Amino acid sequence: MINKKWFLSVVPAVMVMAAFMFTSTVCKKTDEVKIDTTKKVVKSPLFVKQGEVYFQDKGRNLIRQIDVEIADSDQKRHLGLMFRENMDTNQGMLFIFPKEEEQAFYMKNTIMPLDIIFITSQHQIVKIYKHTTPYSEKDLPSNKPILYVVEVNAGFSDRFGVKEGQYIDFRRF
């Protein structure tokens, strides 16, 4: 038989302890969700117009003009268009390197497919990779010394007739 006094004194204490443990566990889990720093949320960077690129045919006649962000430092060139969720048809990025040499790009952390256009110091287009694969770490080499690269939305080259052997010009703001 259970002692009634003992039962009435122990049961409330056990219930309080159980309630405390339950509340602590729930609060702890709630706090973990609020302060969880292991899940990184990366916001898509906003486009900032820093110049314009002019695509030209072999006779240097204008084919298409776009607004560009300019990547002219190691940090900017490394980041490129990574983490961008979208870009307008008339937007892109112009990469400017310190010296003309062979380069290779990849699509790591790049969400949207791109056309990647390699350009010499004479502003001639020497290589175009069309419809690149998002997140791919496969190297896309220029195969020739280049000084500039323009990245635009996938399909841009076909849509506007931009081809190897043609030219670009640009201006910075």
Position 7 scores a pLDDT of 47
Buried b (16+ CB within 10 A) or exposed e, 13-31: eeeeeeeeeeeeeeeeeee
Strand partners, 146: 101
Residues 166 and 104 reside in one and the same domain: yes
Residues 25 and 60 reside in one and the same domain: no
What region, left, alpha or beta, does residue 35 occupy, with left being phi > 0 and alpha being psi -120 to 50 degrees? alpha
Residues 61 and 33 reside in one and the same domain: no
Position 44 scores a pLDDT of 76
- Give the residue numbers spanning the domain of 31: 1-39
Residues 4 and 84 reside in one and the same domain: no
Q: How far apart are CA 81 and CA 70, in angstroms?
A: 11
Domain presence at residue 46: no
Domain presence at residue 119: yes
Position 35 scores a pLDDT of 40
Closest CA to 147 of 55, 71, 66, 60: 71
What's the total number of domains in the chain?
2
pTM over the 0.85 mark: no
Residues 86 and 164 reside in one and the same domain: yes
In tens digits, the chain (173 residues) has pLDDT values of 444 454 455 555 555 454 444 444 444 433 333 444 555 656 778 999 999 999 999 999 999 999 999 999 999 999 999 999 999 999 999 999 999 999 999 999 999 999 999 999 999 999 999 999 999 999 999 999 999 999 999 999 999 999 999 999 999 99
Domain presence at residue 45: no
